[in-house]
Chain A
Amino acid sequence: MKPFVTHTGVVAALDRANVDTDQIIPKQFLKRIERTGFGQFLFFDWRFRPDGSPEPEFELNRPEAAGASILLSRRNFGCGSSREHAPWALADYGFRVVIAPTFADIFYSNCFQNGMLPIRLDEQDVEELFRRTAQATASGGSPYTLRVDLNTCTVADSAGFSKPFEIDAFRRTCLLQGLDNIALTLDHVDSIAAWEAAHGLPPVAAQQP
C-alpha cells in the first residue's frame, strides 16, 4: 500500500450531508473485477448529464475544483453500501484526503486500506473550511489549498487555519509506513492457530509467505 505521510492539495467542496456510496460510485459500475479504473465513474449520476456531457453545476466540474486531491464534505460521508469501489473511485480520481465532520464506519475503514486518509474535524472547523474555499473561489486567486501532515496529525492552510485531528494509532502507523495488513496479521499466525485449536478446529497446514 502507498504510504501516506504528508499531502498538500487543492480542496474540492462538496457541500452535501449524507453522501452515500451509491452516489460515490453507482451500482452499474460495480461489475468490474479490477481494483483500478473506477475514477471515470466517480459521482457519475451527479457529474454527467444524461447525454454523457459533464454537468457544469456539479461541484467537481467547476473550474476551482480542477486537480483537487482533498475532498471536503458534510456529515455522515460514505454512508450506505460497504462497496470498497467508493474509495477506489475517489483514489483513482485523484483524492488522497476526505474531510468531513463524521464518516460512516465501513467507508471509514475502507479508506485506510487504500492509502486514503479520512479526517474528522469539528462541524465548525468544517464550516470554516467551506467558507475559506468559497472565499478563495470568489476572490478569483489561486485555488484553496490545504496541507495535511499525518506525522503531527494536523491540517493547515497558509492563512492561519491549523487544526489537529484524531486517528487510531495503529491505523496511523499502517498508513505512515504503507504496511500490508495481511502480512502484519500473519505475524500472529501462531495465536490464530492456538485459538483454532482451543475451539476444536482442525489444524491448518502452514501458509505460504
Chain B
Amino acid sequence: MPSTPRTLLEKIWDAHLVCAPEGEQPLIYIDRHLVHEVTSAQAFEGLRLAGRRVRRPEATFATPDHNIPTTDRRLPIADAISRQQIDTLRNNCREFGVRLFDLGDADQGIVHVIGPELGITQPGMTIVCGDSHTATHGALGALAFGIGTSEVEHVLATQTLRQSKPKSFEVRVEGSLHPGITAKDLVLYIIGQLSTEGGTGYVIEYTGPCIRSLGMEERMTVCNMSIEAGARAGMIAPDQITFDYLRGRDYAPRDFEAAVAAWKKLPSDPGARFDRTAIYQGGDVVPQVTWGTNPAQVVGVDATVPDPAAIADASERDSSNRALEYMGLTSGTRISDIALDRVFIGSCTNSRIEDLRAAAKVVQGYSIAPNIHAMVVPGSGRVKRQAELEGLDKVFTAAGFEWREAGCSMCLGMNPDTLSPGQRCASTSNRNFEGRQGKGGRTHLVSPAMAAAAAVAGHFTDIREWRYRS
C-alpha cells in the first residue's frame, strides 16, 4: 500500500523523533551542533555547574566568528572582553572535547560558511546553532535552525531538542531570474512579499524551477535569510547540485554513493501537503535595495523611497515613518540617488567564493568612488585562499577595497568593524536593523554585485546597466 506523501520536512522530522511522551513537547535528535563564541559560554558553564558532559562531542563543531577582528591575526585581540570570550570558547572546547576551528586554523570562518564547506552539513540532517542564520544549512536539504543559549546547553547535554512540530510552508518560485539578478535579490523580494513575520511558526521549503536552477551557494543565500521573514528554518530539497557540491568534502560520508542513494529519497513526495503555499515568479524580481530598518522594507533599485502615508496599517505606517527618520531618507527619493559612505561585502549571507567572484567581476578595471570606504571580508579561511588563488584580492585592493580575514565582521559590528553614527552603508549582509552595524549607522541590504557597483559609483546603481570591464 502506498504510504501517505510526505514533505522533506516531515521525512526529516519523522526520522529524528526520539519520543513524544504524553503531555510533553516531542524530543528530536540533533545530528550536528555548531557552536560559536557569543552564545555558548553560558551553556558550557551550565553543564559545568550541573556536572554534565557533552553527550556527542564528535557531533559538535566550534569556531570563533562573531566578535573576532578581521585585521592581522598574528596580533593579540586588543579588546579584553572579546579576548576573554574567545579564550572561554577555547577552554570549553578543550575541557569538553569539542573540535574547534580556532583563530589561526586554516579552516576557521563564519560558522554557516564552514559547515557546508567542510561537508559537516549534509542532506537529511537536523542541525542547530545558537544563531538565527542557521537556516543557511537547509540549502543542502537539512532541517537547520537557530536556538537560544539554554537550548544550546540542552543539546550539548542531551543531543536532543524539545520542539513542537513546525508547520510547513512551500514558497514556490516559478520561471527564472533575469540576467544580473541574484539569489540575494530573490530572497529580499520574497521577504518583502511575506513581511518580517509572514513565516513565523513555519519551516519554509523553497521549491520550483527557479530555485532548482540556483547553484549551491546561491541556495545558501536564499535559505540564510528565511529568519528575516520570521521562519526559523528554510530548506531546499537535495539534488545532483547538492551531491556534486558535497562529494569529496572533508566530512562527507565515506560511502558517498550509499549516502546519495538515501538522500535521493528525501525530496517532498508528489502530492505532499503543505500547511501553506505562496507562489512567485522569478521574472518579477529586479535588483533589490532595502530602504528601511527591517529587511521587508525593500524596493527595486529602479524605484523610489516609498511614502508611509500610503500604508493602511497604523503600526506599519508608524514603523515606516520611524525607519525613514532613522535612515535620513525622504519618500520619493530615487534609490539610485542615495549616496553612500561605506560598502561591506561579507557575512554568512554573501561571503562565499561565488559572491566574491560576482563582486570582483563588477569591480575589475574600476576604482571605488572617493567618498567610499569599502571592505571585503571572506566567509572563511578557505574562501579567502581560493579568492587569492584566483587573484580576486588583487582586483579588490587595486580598486581601493580593504581585503580582510574571515569573520562576521560588520554584519553585526561586534568586532572593531562598525559604522559611525550617520554613516550610510551598502551591505551584503542580512539585517538593516537600527544600529545593527554600529550605533546610528544606516544599512541598505543588497547583493554582492550591487554592493560592488555602488562602491564604484558612490551611490546605488542598477547592476543591469553595468558596463563590465572584465
Minimum CB–CB distance for B459 against chain A, Å: 26
CB atoms of B18 and A191 under 8 A apart: yes
Residues of the B chain whose Cβ atoms lie less than 8 Å from the Cβ of A20? 294, 431, 433
* Residues of B190-239 contacting chain A, CB below 8 A: 196-197, 200-201, 227, 230, 232
A114 and B55 CA atoms in complex are apart in Å by: 23
Whether B436 pairs with A33 at a CB distance below 8 angstroms is no
A168 B25 Cβ-Cβ under 8 A: yes
Query: With A76-B230, A82-B131, A102-B197 as given contacts, are A170 and B319 in contact (CB-CB < 8 Å)?
Result: no
- Contact indicator A80/B433 (Cβ below 8 Å): yes
If over half of A's interface residues share one DSSP class (helix, strand or loop), that class is named, otherwise mixed; here it is loop
User: Once the chains bind, are B25 and A171 in contact (CB under 8 Å)?
Assistant: yes
B436 adjacent to A22 (CB under 8 Å): yes
The total number of A-B Cβ pairs within 8 Å is 181
Question: Is B433 a contact partner of A185 (Cβ separation < 8 A)?
Answer: no
B42 to chain A: closest CB distance in Å?
Answer: 5
Do the beta carbons of A31 and B316 come within 8 Å of each other?
no
Q: Are A22 and B232 in contact (CB under 8 A)?
A: no
Taking CB atoms, residues of chain B closer than 8 Å to A15 are: 318
Contacts A173-B23, A204-B55 given: A22-B84 contact, CB under 8 Å?
A: no
B414 at the interface (CB under 8 A from A): yes
Decide: A186 near B157, CB < 8 A? Known: A30-B414, A208-B53.
yes
The size class of the interface chain B forms with chain A is 35 or more
Cα(A181)–Cα(B230), bound, Å: 25
B434 and A113 form a contact (CB under 8 A): no
Contact present for A105 and B200 (CB under 8 Å) = yes
**Contacts of A209 on B, CB cut-off 8 Å?**
51
Interface mask (A165-209 → B, CB under 8 Å = 1, otherwise 0): 000111101000000011011101101100110010100100111
- Asked if B27 CB lies within 8 Å of chain A CBs, one says yes
* B contacts with A: majority SS: loop
Report the Cα distance A84→B435, complex, angstroms: 19
Q: Closest Cβ of chain A: how far from B53's Cβ, in Å?
A: 7
**Interfacial chain A residues near B75, Cβ < 8 Å:** none
Task: Count chain A residues whose beta carbon lies closer than 8 angstroms to a beta carbon of B.
Answer: 59
Closest 10 CB pairs of A and B: A113-B150, A33-B41, A84-B148, A110-B148, A82-B146, A84-B149, A82-B132, A31-B81, A191-B19, A76-B197
Interface residues of B (CB under 8 A from A): 18-19, 21, 23-25, 27, 29, 38-39, 41-42, 45, 50-53, 55-56, 66-67, 79, 81-82, 84-85, 88, 130-132, 146-151, 153-154, 157-160, 162, 164, 196-197, 200-201, 227, 230, 232, 294, 315-316, 318-319, 322, 412-414, 421, 431, 433-436, 439
- With A26-B439, A81-B132, A105-B200 known as contacts, the answer to whether A192 contacts B24 (CB < 8 A) is no
- Are the CB atoms of B197 and A82 closer together than 8 Å? no
Supplied contacts A102-B197, A106-B132, 16 more A-B pairs, CB within 8 Å: A18-B197, A22-B433, A26-B439, A27-B412, A27-B436, A31-B84, A35-B42, A80-B431, A80-B433, A83-B39, A83-B148, A106-B146, A181-B150, A185-B154, A188-B21, A207-B53
CB neighbours of B162 from chain A (8 A): 170, 181, 185
Interface check A17, CB cutoff 8 A: yes
Cα distance, A82 to B147, chains bound together (Å): 6
By a CB distance below 8 angstroms, the chain B residues around A106 are: 132, 146-148, 227, 232
Q: How far is the CB of A167 from chain B (nearest CB, A)?
A: 12
A87-111 residues with Cβ-Cβ distance < 8 A to B are: 87, 102-106, 109-110
Given contacts A33-B88, A105-B200, A106-B232, contact A84 B158 (CB under 8 A): no
